[in-house]
A = this chain, B = another copy of it.
């Protein structure tokens, strides 16, 4: 029994502390980069004693990998929700630009973490992010392949366009993340830039191939 009834206060508490550690690390990493925050800083911010950290993660590196996982699962949930919206079929480009900027604004910390640690982090964290992004390129390719204009393209061309889209997504996410707080007017210009770039890719690709 034990595991159905009223959901166990013991592991529930453990889960809450784990989340506190993740949240604390994410917050600290925003200001200084994950690689330069210490185990003790994280513990302090999470409200536990340094040694208690080891009850949840073997090392800071493992914490980093958990943050990568969390970040991408957030991103995937957003993409899945966005796909239900019928307007992606009419105008995938405008929809993508909107979703991107909204998503980044909503989970700024996760995007900032990925953007930074993708190149700046430890070997293990970098590899994990690269792997997730590769997966993401393939997933996006599947979505793209279903679109009216694209369904006739060769598989490898779709893959390449997907790669370009993801690369641009990363760049634009970086821009939104670095956007000064008091300047929401920049948001629309980033969006417009993203739209232009995506249109460029699609139009250029079609015409170049013809």
Contacts of A160 in B (CB 8 A): 193, 196
Specify the main secondary structure of chain A where it touches its partner.
helix
Is A50's beta carbon under 8 Å from chain B? Answer: no
A66 within 8 A of B: no
Taking the complex as formed, is A205 at the interface, i.e. its CB lies under 8 A from any CB of chain B? yes
The distance in angstroms between the C-alpha atoms of A201 and B168, with both chains bound, is 13
Residues A200 and B204 in contact in the complex (CB < 8 Å), given A36-B36, A120-B121, A121-B120: yes
* Chain B: minimal CB distance from A18 (Å): 26
Q: Give how many A residues have a beta carbon under 8 Å from the other chain's beta carbons.
A: 27
Q: How many Å from the CB of A191 to the closest CB on chain B? A: 14
Q: A21 CA to B148 CA in the complex, in Å?
A: 58
CB distance from A125 to the nearest CB of B (A): 11
Mark contacts of A117-128 with chain B using CB atoms, 8 A cut-off: 1 yes-contact digit, 0 otherwise.
111110000000
| Cβ of A93 under 8 Å from chain B | no
**A87-119 contact mask (Cβ, 8 Å, vs B): 1 or 0:** 000000000000000000000000000011111
CB-CB < 8 A to A118: which residues of B? 119
Q: How far is the CB of A160 from chain B (nearest CB, A)?
A: 7
Is the pair B167, A120 in contact by a Cβ cutoff of 8 Å?
Answer: no
Rounded to whole angstroms, the CA-CA distance of A149 and B162 in the bound complex is 28
Closest chain-B Cβ to A186's Cβ sits at a distance in Å of 14
Interface residues of A (CB under 8 A from B): 33, 35-36, 115-121, 160, 164, 167, 171, 174, 193, 196-197, 199-205, 207-208
A-B contact pairs, 10 of them (CB 8 A): A33-B35, A33-B120, A35-B36, A115-B119, A117-B120, A119-B174, A199-B208, A200-B204, A201-B204, A203-B204
